[in-house]
Amino acid sequence: MTRASNDNVAMPDKRAVVEHNRRMWDRLAKAGIPYTRLVGTPPRTAAAKRRFLDPRGRYAGVDFAGARVLSLAGGGGWHPILFAELGADVTLVDISAAQCRTVRESARARGAAVRVVRGDMRDLSRFAQASFDVVDHQHSLVFVPDAARVIRGVGRVLAPGGTYLFSTMHPTTLRLYGTWTGTGWRPRTRYADERAIPYEDDLWEFGRTKVRAPTIEYGHRIETLVNACVKAGMVVDGLWEWSPGDGSAGEPGSDDELERWLPAFVEIRARKSAR
């Protein structure tokens, strides 16, 4: 993913950041970048669909049939649809109307039942306590300033024994994208500094698709994420740091090359304690 700029965006309050990013996601969806359309074709059998949904086996041992699944910020992707096709009772929450529409229309076309709710991941108050068995949350905490607030909400809606799986941009790598000096990478902010990451380049570029969308992004520290899970009554039982591909195609100093040295994503699995 090419990094986006926020240099020209005055740092507003948290609600304004979220509203700004909502508009950017509507714009990105209009441009049809990969995170806003259903990429690939899922296979037909249940076992193969499950592998398509969970290629790294993070949900090993979790039965989706009959499970109440919250697809958090899962608009524009296959996940909510595939959970439903695997027998789960699925609710999608996403802040972008365009991202919600993509899932609603595709689910309808495939005959999959997905409840679609347009909303902010930071406010799950519409859902009862312990009302989900699985919360699936990929690549989107980076767009909110207050990750701990989101995780607190997840801890409330997750049923005892339930699974929360989430991924976000790796906080170290996020601070280094686009900073190659010719001899090394220079962090944009200190690791301990959790304000938005300042970028100069607001272009999202995927092959021939290019769109200017200065999303405001936050590199939440790993200790923030793990401790928020613990505080929300969850036990972290898996943490992975990884990059897509092997980075071998990257030009020297490019973001692709950076992802060869450092992980693009951090992924965490937590279970709600049975108390």
Ligand X SMILES: C[S@@+](CC[C@H](N)C(=O)[O-])C[C@H]1O[C@@H](n2cnc3c(N)ncnc32)[C@H](O)[C@@H]1O
Amino acid letter, residue 75:
G
Nearest alpha-carbon partner for 135 in 218, 219, 79: 79
Under a CB-based contact definition with an 8 Å cutoff, are residues 99 and 124 in contact? no
Decide if residue 174 touches ligand X (CB under 6 A). no
Both structure tokens of 259 = 């992802």
CA distances from 108 to 1, 68, 115 (A): 29, 19, 11
Instruction: Tell me how far, at minimum, the Cβ of 29 lies from ligand X, in Å.
Output: 8
CB of 95: closest distance to ligand X in angstroms? 4
In the list 107, 121, 135, 234, the residue contacting ligand X (rule: CB under 6 A) is 121
Closest approach of ligand X to the CB of residue 86, in Å: 17
- Neighbour tally for 50: CB within 10 Å: 20
Q: What's the DSSP call for residue 61? A: T
Residues in CB range of 101: below 8 A, 6 or more apart: none
Residue 214 as a binder of ligand X (CB under 6 A): the answer is no
User: CB of 145: closest distance to ligand X in angstroms?
Assistant: 10
- Shortest Å distance, C-beta 198 to ligand X: 19
Q: Read off φ and ψ for residue 78, nearest 5 degrees.
A: -75, -25
Using CB under 6 A, which of 4, 144, 165, 213 touches ligand X?
144
SS3 content of the chain, % helix, strand, coil (to 5): 30, 20, 45
Residue among 101 and 180 whose Cβ is closer to ligand X: 101
Given candidates 5, 27, 35, 59, which one binds ligand X under the rule CB under 6 A?
A: 35
Contact window for ligand X (CB under 6 A) among 8-16, 44-52, 69-77, 254-262: 69-77
CB of 142 to ligand X, least distance (A): 8
- Which residue, 21 or 173, has its beta carbon nearer to ligand X? 21
* Residue closest to ligand X (Cβ): 77
Among 27, 88, 91, 120, binds ligand X (CB under 6 A): 120
Q: Is 134 in the site for ligand X (CB under 6 A)?
A: no
Q: Does 76 sit near ligand X (CB under 6 A)?
A: yes
In the complex, the smallest distance separating the C-beta of residue 150 from ligand X, rounded to whole angstroms, is 8
List of long-range contacts for 227-231, beta carbons under 8 Å, 24+ apart: 227/148, 228/147, 228/148, 228/151, 228/152, 229/151, 229/155, 229/164, 229/268, 229/270, 231/148, 231/151, 231/152, 231/155
Q: Does residue 127 interact with ligand X by CB under 6 A?
A: no
Q: How far is CA 206 from CA 4, 31, 82, 98, in A?
A: 13, 11, 25, 19
- Write phi, then psi, for 258 (nearest 5 degrees): -55, -40
Check residue 96 for interaction with ligand X (CB under 6 A).
Answer: yes
Indicate the residue among 67 and 144 with the shorter CB distance to ligand X.
144
- Give the interface with ligand X as residue ranges (CB under 6 A): 18, 21, 25, 35, 73-77, 94-96, 99, 120-122, 138-140, 143-144
